[in-house]
Amino acid sequence: MPDRELYGKVLEVEKQLNGVIRGKENVMRLLLGAFFAEGHVLMEDVPGTGKTTLAKALALSISADFSRIQFTPDLLPADILGSSIYSPKEGSFFFREGPIFTNLLLADEINRASPRTQSALLEAMNERQVSIEGKEHSLSSPFLVIATQNPVEYYGTYPLPEAQLDRFAVRLSLGYPDGDAELQLLLDRRRNDPLESVRPVLDCGEIRRIQEEVRTVEVEDSLARYMMRVIRATRESGEILLGASPRALLTLSRCAQALAWLDNRMFVKPDDILLLIQPLLAHRLVMTLESKHAGIAPAAVLDDIVGKIKIPV
């Protein structure tokens, strides 16, 4: 069983997130699962659905450093990573860290920056370090990027390249709330902002302990083979030009472990994997030109793959 004290604190964090964003319990669970699996999260949705609010709520729930970058077309890589500054007093240069040197980074509207600036995050997201002027600088632990983006058909946006999309463990969408949840959202904000009541529950040391415990969650061989068959099926599909990478397989396994831990289990069940198939794989797939013209979406292909591969029992 998971550590009782840590598990209780995580439930409190989840409760606070659900109090800020109403009616999206599955999204909160997937967000925390990616966090404890040491993965990054891409929040994709139309403006005004609460993407940035959710990231702020998570940041307020942990005692850790938090940075926010508003991505714009004129943003430069140095604005994210940092640069060398000349000190007249010392007569030498010193390195001034950029906002990426933090525990939780909110990259707001990431697809409004140029591809050159977007690529500044690649090394940081994958290797937890950045190379600046020939020197490597390690990032803090834990390190999580929550990036938000508006759909690419909106004015003034740049689609994220496949190499960067593959760095995000999951792509989540809040969507519009149902009637009851939207009414409750309105009532919650009549007198104050729910973010004002969010308090720190976890610290960095506890988050690292949870991430280490997640690694010990058991994954049976039959489930490991099932995940591998799903990943390989995306590469063999005639409707997909670029299938899921080995990184996707490793991320799927780790996130399944995290979901099991969040469900108070130390073993993965098929349901953990099935819950992750769409949010973890859909954004990684590149469809053929023929499939795009036919209106076939990655989600439909994944549903077909899952329907054809026998699920272990």
Per-residue model confidence (pLDDT) at position 127? 86
Q: What is the pLDDT of residues 19-52, one digit of tens each?
A: 888 888 999 999 999 999 999 999 988 777 788 8
Burial code of 96-125, b = ≥16 C-beta within 10 A, e = fewer? eebbbbbbbbbbbbbbbbeeebbebbebbb
pLDDT of residue 38: 95
Q: Cβ distance 11 to 29 under 8 Å?
A: no
**Max mean pLDDT range (73-82, 110-119, 188-197, 273-282):** 273-282
What pLDDT is attached to residue 156? 67
In angstroms, the CA 49 to CA 98 distance is 28
Which of these, 260, 279, 280, lies nearest to 270 by C-alpha position? 260
Better pLDDT: 268 or 160:
268
pTM metric for this prediction: 0.90
Alpha-helical segments (H) within the chain: 4-20, 25-36, 51-60, 77-81, 115-118, 122-127, 162-165, 179-188, 204-214, 221-236, 246-262, 270-281, 289-293, 298-308
Comparing C-alpha atoms, which of 184, 275, 286 is closest to residue 244? 286
Highest-scoring range by mean pLDDT, 121-130, 186-195, 217-226: 217-226
Q: What is the pLDDT of residue 143?
A: 93
**Phi, psi of 256, deg, nearest 5:** -65, -40
In the predicted structure, residue 115 carries a pLDDT above the cut 60: yes
178-206: per-residue pLDDT in tens?
Answer: 787 778 777 877 777 778 889 999 999 99
- Flag whether pLDDT at 289 surpasses 80: yes
Higher pLDDT, 94 or 64: 64
Q: How confident is the model at residue 154 (pLDDT cuts 50, 70, 90)?
A: low
Average pLDDT over residues 11-15: 95
Report pLDDT for 188. 73
The whole-angstrom separation of Cα 50 and Cα 95 is 35
Whole-number average pLDDT of the chain: 90
Strand partners, 42: 147, 171
- Region 306-311: mean pLDDT is 94
Q: Which tokens in the block code for residue 297?
A: 């979406």
Average pLDDT, stretch 132-138?
A: 82
Q: What is the mean pLDDT of residues 197-217?
A: 95
> Rounded to whole angstroms, what are the CA distances from 75 to 72, 107, 120, 156, 194?
5, 12, 11, 14, 31
Q: Which range, of 113-122, 149-158, 181-190, averages the lowest pLDDT? A: 149-158
Residue 152: its pLDDT value, please?
A: 60
Q: Which residues contact 202 (CB under 8 A, 6 or more apart)?
A: 9, 10, 13, 61, 62, 63, 210
pLDDT of residue 151: 72
- Tell me the HSE value of 291 on the side-chain side, using a 13 A CA sphere: 16
Per the DSSP assignment, residues forming a β-bridge with 129 are: 138
Per-residue pLDDT, averaged over 277-306, amounts to 94
Q: Extract the tokens encoding 107.
A: 């990259």
**What is the DSSP code string of 21-68?**
STT-HHHHHHHHHHHHTT-EEEEE--TTSSHHHHHHHHHHTEES-EEE
Identity of the residue numbered 275:
L
Residue 153 has pLDDT above 60, yes or no: no
Among 57-61, 179-183, 209-213, the range scoring the smallest mean pLDDT is 179-183
